[in-house]
Chain A
Amino acid sequence: MTLLSVRDLTKHFPIKRGVFGQVSGQVRAVDGVSFDIAAGETLALVGESGCGKSTTGRVVLRLIEPTSGSVQFDGNDVFALGAGDLRRLRRKMQIVFQDPFSSLNPRMSIGAIVREGLTIHKLAEGAAADARVRQLLEEVGLRPEYASRYPHEFSGGQRQRVGIARALSVEPTFIVCDEPVSALDVSVQAQVVNLLQDLQRDRGLAYLFIAHDLSVVEHIANRVAVMYLGHIVELAAVNDLYGTPIMPYTQALLSAVPAPDPGVKRERILLAGDVPSPANPPSGCVFHPRCQHPARDAACAAIVPPLEEKAPGHWAACIKQPPTAASWEAQKAAGGTNSPEFFLPRAALHRSVDSTSAHQSLPA
């Protein structure tokens, strides 16, 4: 059952210059993003800095107003709701932040922080509220006696737990996790990741898990969407994405992850240069200037690749990886010289899948 449905979500930030603040350009942070999340599932949104994943998370919750697009949550059109209805809906969709040091009000005790949601939505008062707060603290692995302490008395991992308790206090069905473990040490990361998984299982939560760490994502996600410069370039079930990454960007990303196994000698797909500015994205396929696909040509600079289903449940935006709706004639007309051919470099593979068998699992 689809809980969240995002269609063509776009967010452009105006760049203001000059004395009167005239708009001289747009930062295209999110540029036409679409995906669904089913109840109880985890969709991970991965990408590097500047790809727009954090902005996407916030726009979905309408913490930032969108430029265009629609978000359907639990049957409601999120962007069309009035203030009162939006407030009521906010109970169902919550967020956990990346930085444990700025996500808690330093002047409120953690008990007060967790209780606020209960007060606002009139879910509990007085002694009942206190009991609920203690319950929540225990659920996230903190001693209930800590309720009167202040955030600065806790470590990063503990603060993250408080943030999670705060999100849970209003009984949501969906949580946007914005890089919840990136700022934590490895052993603490493991604790928080396990906690998130346990909560999902016990409460049937759906997560939009935003991260840049591909190892954590593989562990926790059901499906993964890869973002680059405001676009989703690949979307697939987690095993499919890590087993046969179709997009050249995904391949490069996976090959860059260092493997904690000294026996494995990995070749890297090294991307040239840096990520272009989202205020001035390349034409056609936004990735084409850095792409290492052997069939890359002028057509890539001219045609904006649609997100297509290359295999059941596996979507990618590349006109050079077959099958593609961008016909060879259309590509030639745009200046294309190389016909599409399937390319899956060994360097991208972390599994013991060799390229030939991967080739066979996709239609030629």
Chain B
Amino acid sequence: MTAPLLEIENLRTWFYTDSGVARSVDGVSLHVDHGETLGVVGESGCGKSVTALSILRLIRAPGRIEAGSAIRFEGKDLLTLAERDIQHVRGNRIAMVFQEPMTALNPVFTVGDQIAEVARIHAGMSRRDAWEKAVEMLRLVGIPAPEQRAHEYPHQLSGGMRQRVVIAMALVMNPALVIADEPTTALDVTIQAQILELLADLTKRFGTSILLITHDLGVVAENCARVIVMYAGQVVEEATTAELFSHPHHPYTEGLLGAMPRVGGNAERLATIPGTVPSPTAWPGGCRFRERCMYAWERCAKEHPPLYQIGAGHVSRCHLAVEPERRSQPHLPVAAQQGVTAA
């Protein structure tokens, strides 16, 4: 059993704002193995994007990665590296693909130039070699007529094409890890299918690991071997994809699965999770999901649940792990009782 490629331990990224300290990421631990695609699922405000940015230390003031956090990659703790060394990692050993291809690309440079720049910076290639590499990468990501297309500007390409360019930029240096933050959310569903297929194909070919951040459980089901569910700045469940979908443990995961309409499904009414995500400046004590949970009981208000082991490779941050009989006593969640539906 080899060591994981990336290991995050107790990551805490807090933002010091006028309205208080926002603990956006509050003790997240996860690992990504070589050649695997790990899915990170959560809704707005759960901290998944901040986690991704923290890995590459892209957090700026007033945000700060707190002491006691560790991010180990290829044997080094990224958080202790000097600025010059982390620059060597960014784009080279760990690459990032963002959600909005238009803002990820510089509008005043050709796409060929932008890909070539990565090669020049990290591999010290000459202009001509870097350009050839850029064309080769465009061909690799399936852009037709890459020699001509390389001379085009981002606004001349469609959304799907731009995302392919962004992926090409990410893969130029053959990184060990690609962090993809909602890479297909802004794209149409048929284009999404193309892009995900491309990512799956390339990762198989080059053995790249992917940290795939998304809110779409369908995307996770089809592309990820393992899944992490985040809520309120923490990991609330982790399991293999098959296990998560067939035996979800945490009530939030259950809620998400129930709230999703699915093609071919037969739900009369979608199950909803009443209430809203609490504010990161004021996480409630005890279990943070308590007010919206239909199983919560006194223990949940007093004791913040740790990650309990449910099965092989399956953990869940829920006291139901030690008192499973409570699952047969559902009740109306506190948030629904207040007569407020509110989100």
The 8 A CB mask of A343-364 against B (1 = contact, 0 = none) is: 0000000110000000000000
Whether the Cβ atoms of B260 and A186 lie closer than 8 Å is yes
Return the chain A residue nearest B258 by Cβ. A190
The 8 A CB mask of B173-203 against A (1 = contact, 0 = none) is: 0000000000000001111111011000000
Give the complex CA separation of A259 and B261 in angstroms.
10
Give the complex CA separation of A155 and B43 in angstroms.
13
Given known A-B contacts A189-B259, A219-B261, A270 and B221 have beta carbons under 8 A apart: no
Whether the Cβ atoms of A48 and B270 lie closer than 8 Å is no
- How far is the CB of B145 from the nearest CB of chain A, in Å? 12
Whether the Cβ atoms of A260 and B221 lie closer than 8 Å is yes
Give the complex CA separation of A266 and B197 in angstroms.
12
Return the chain A residue nearest B255 by Cβ. A187
Partner of A214, one of B219, B256, B263: B263
A210 CB within 8 Å of chain B: no
- How far is the CB of A187 from the nearest CB of chain B, in Å? 4
Whether the Cβ atoms of B219 and A143 lie closer than 8 Å is no
Given known A-B contacts A215-B261, A218-B263, A194 and B188 have beta carbons under 8 A apart: no
The 8 A CB mask of B259-290 against A (1 = contact, 0 = none) is: 11111110101111110100000000000000
Give the complex CA separation of A243 and B196 in angstroms.
25
Chain B residues with Cβ under 8 A from A351's Cβ? Answer: 264
- How far is the CB of B199 from the nearest CB of chain A, in Å? 13
Whether the Cβ atoms of A274 and B260 lie closer than 8 Å is no
Number of interface residues of A (CB under 8 A): 48
Whether the Cβ atoms of B256 and A186 lie closer than 8 Å is yes
B340 CB within 8 Å of chain A: yes
The 8 A CB mask of B33-47 against A (1 = contact, 0 = none) is: 000000000011000
B80 CB within 8 Å of chain A: no
Return the chain A residue nearest B161 by Cβ. A274
Whether the Cβ atoms of A260 and B190 lie closer than 8 Å is no
Which residues of A, 270-312, contact B by the 8 Å Cβ criterion? 270-271, 273-275
Return the chain A residue nearest B343 by Cβ. A157
The 8 A CB mask of B215-258 against A (1 = contact, 0 = none) is: 11111111000000000000000000110011000000001110
The 8 A CB mask of A159-200 against B (1 = contact, 0 = none) is: 000000000000000000000000001111111011001000
Given known A-B contacts A261-B245, A266-B222, A350-B263, A193 and B270 have beta carbons under 8 A apart: yes
B61 CB within 8 Å of chain A: no
Chain B residues with Cβ under 8 A from A186's Cβ? Answer: 43, 215, 217, 256, 259-260
Partner of B218, one of A193, A253, A260: A260
Given known A-B contacts A158-B343, A193-B270, A268-B197, A259 and B262 have beta carbons under 8 A apart: yes
Give the complex CA separation of A185 and B194 in angstroms.
23
Give the complex CA separation of A255 and B273 in angstroms.
29
Whether the Cβ atoms of B343 and A188 lie closer than 8 Å is yes
Partner of A187, one of B216, B219, B256: B256
Give the complex CA separation of A204 and B160 in angstroms.
40
Partner of A49, one of B44, B188, B264: B188
Give the complex CA separation of A49 and B265 in angstroms.
25
Which residues of A, 213-227, contact B by the 8 Å Cβ criterion? 213-216, 218-219
Chain A residues with Cβ under 8 A from B44's Cβ? Answer: 156, 185
Whether the Cβ atoms of B257 and A190 lie closer than 8 Å is no
- How far is the CB of B100 from the nearest CB of chain A, in Å? 14
Whether the Cβ atoms of A270 and B197 lie closer than 8 Å is yes
Whether the Cβ atoms of B190 and A253 lie closer than 8 Å is yes
B108 CB within 8 Å of chain A: no
B158 CB within 8 Å of chain A: yes
The 8 A CB mask of A126-162 against B (1 = contact, 0 = none) is: 0000000000000001110000000000011110000
A258 CB within 8 Å of chain B: yes
Chain A residues with Cβ under 8 A from B144's Cβ? Answer: 273
Give the complex CA separation of A218 and B260 in angstroms.
12
Chain B residues with Cβ under 8 A from A156's Cβ? Answer: 44, 343
Chain B residues with Cβ under 8 A from A189's Cβ? Answer: 259
Give the complex CA separation of A49 and B144 in angstroms.
22
- How far is the CB of B295 from the nearest CB of chain A, in Å? 17
Give the complex CA separation of A190 and B193 in angstroms.
24
Interface centre among A193, A257, A263 (most CB of B within 10 A): A257
Return the chain A residue nearest B245 by Cβ. A262
- 10 A-B contacts (beta carbon < 8 Å): A142-B342, A143-B342, A190-B270, A212-B188, A260-B217, A260-B220, A260-B221, A270-B190, A274-B160, A275-B158
Further pairs besides A155-B342, A186-B256: 6, Cβ < 8 Å: A186-B217, A191-B272, A194-B270, A242-B263, A254-B263, A260-B221
User: Which residues of A are interface residues toward B (Cβ below 8 A)?
Assistant: 48-49, 141-143, 155-158, 185-191, 193-194, 197, 212-216, 218-219, 242, 252-263, 266, 268, 270-271, 273-275, 350-351
User: Which residues of B are interface residues toward A (Cβ below 8 A)?
Assistant: 43-44, 144, 158-161, 188-194, 196-197, 215-222, 241-242, 245-246, 255-257, 259-265, 267, 269-274, 276, 339-343
